[in-house]
Amino acid sequence: MTSKHPGSRPGDRLTRQERTRESAAGGMAVAGSSGLLDTSIESDDALAIGEPVRSQWRLVARRFLRHKLAVVSLVILLLLGTMALFANAISPYELNPQLDAATLQGARQPPSWEHLAGTDKLGRDQFTRVLFALQKSLLVGLGVAFLSVVIGVVVGSLAGYYGGWVDQAMMRFTDLVLVLPALAVLLILASNPDPTFFGLFDLPPATEVNGMIVIISILGWMPMARIVRGEYLSLREKEYVEAAVAAGAPAPRIILRHLLPNTLGAIVVFGTLAVGLAIITEATLSFLGAGIQLPDVSLGNLISDAESTVGTDLAYLIVFPGLMLFLVVLCVNFVGDGLRDALDPRAVR
């Protein structure tokens, strides 16, 4: 309640938005929608020993927990993830059982208590197959998110911190990759059985999970780079960065201690949404026949395998993988939305 918040333009010591925040800092919001209440402890007496320190993350967690949709989605994802991880243990059936007479007898069964998702044309338990496919999808999703973030952060950090020609070079390169038609390039890359990193070392092929991760990440890091660069460009102007410079801080310290930690919000949100995008991309590639091949299962190839069942009484074979894909990506997106709201920069100081 004791400060005005200066504006950033010369002559304008307070913009309305910032003054709204400042009134908010006084413990009140002005005209509702644009304000946020600062619940900081004001008087010196209140900052007594023993008061719990309210770190930023706790505030974020509290805000996230208020998004019921996001919380439910997170729970569902955790559930699915656990199931997928322990697919071996959970399912009484094998992924690829011996195709003997007994199995073939039980083929084409609709969903029942014994086979929750029915059996396919060869008698294999569809639910088991979907679970293993989900395992791959989640691994790819998380792997791509991680790798894209790493590449994007490195590129974006250099561009955002150094500016000048480094920035130009990095960003033009980023633009170049952005311009490539993603699906076409992915298909080409995926069809290469012996990929190498510019001839320097071997990479896993797209038929494996790791290969998928590498390929999708190649075309997935650009938005992260842009986001990080953008954040750094604005954070660089912040006075606490100037203060560090004035104390003699070298570049690595400024990037790692001041710029990066304050960009975490944007990174987390991007990373989460990248998971969903990666899962869909992988499913698409496998559906089209590139990427993961049968008998290795992927949600994509399970769907394509059951393509012809639409409209027949074997339609359950396509419904389950499809539904699973839809559900996972939806939940990931809801969690991402919840995180974005929880990390809203207007709310976090």
Residues that bind other proteins (CB under 8 A): 1-7, 9-17, 19, 22-23, 25-33, 37-49, 53-56, 62, 238-240, 242-250, 253, 257-258, 261-262, 348-349
SS3 196: strand
For residues 19 and 115, which CB has a smaller minimum distance to other proteins in the complex?
19
The one-letter amino acid at 311: G
What minimum distance in Å lies between the beta carbon of 334 and other proteins?
A: 22
Q: How many CB atoms lie within 10 A of CB 197?
A: 9
Measured from the CB atom, is 100 or 239 closer to other proteins? 239
What is the per-residue DSSP string for 130-193? HHHHHHHHHHHHHHHHHHHHHHHHHHHHHHHHH-HHHHHHHHHHHHHHHHS-HHHHHHHHHT-S
Q: How far is the CB of 318 from other proteins (least distance, A)?
A: 46
- How far apart are CB 306 and other proteins at their closest, in Å? 48
Provide the minimum distance between the beta carbon of 32 and other proteins in the complex, in angstroms, as a whole number: 4
CB of 21 to other proteins, least distance (A): 8
Count the neighbouring beta carbons within 10 Å of the beta carbon of residue 266.
18
Radius of gyration of the chain (CA): 25
Q: Which is nearer to other proteins, 240 or 326 (CB)?
A: 240
**Contacts of range 299-303, beta carbons closer than 8 Å, 24 or more positions apart:** 299/130, 299/133, 299/134, 299/136, 299/137, 299/324, 299/325, 300/325, 301/133, 302/129, 302/130, 302/133
Residues facing 202 on adjacent strands: 196
User: Is the Cβ of residue 4 or residue 307 nearer to other proteins in the bound state?
Assistant: 4
Closer residue to other proteins, CB minimum distance, 165 or 201? 165
| Residues whose CB falls within 8 Å of the CB of residue 157, separated by 6 or more in sequence, listed in order | 228, 229, 232, 255, 259, 260
Q: What is the DSSP letter of 30?
A: S
**7 vs 195, beta carbon nearer other proteins:** 7
Q: Token pair 């170049």 is at which residue?
A: 176
Nearer to other proteins, 80 or 269 (CB): 269
Residues 6+ away with beta carbon under 8 Å from 126: 115, 117, 118, 119, 120, 316, 317, 320
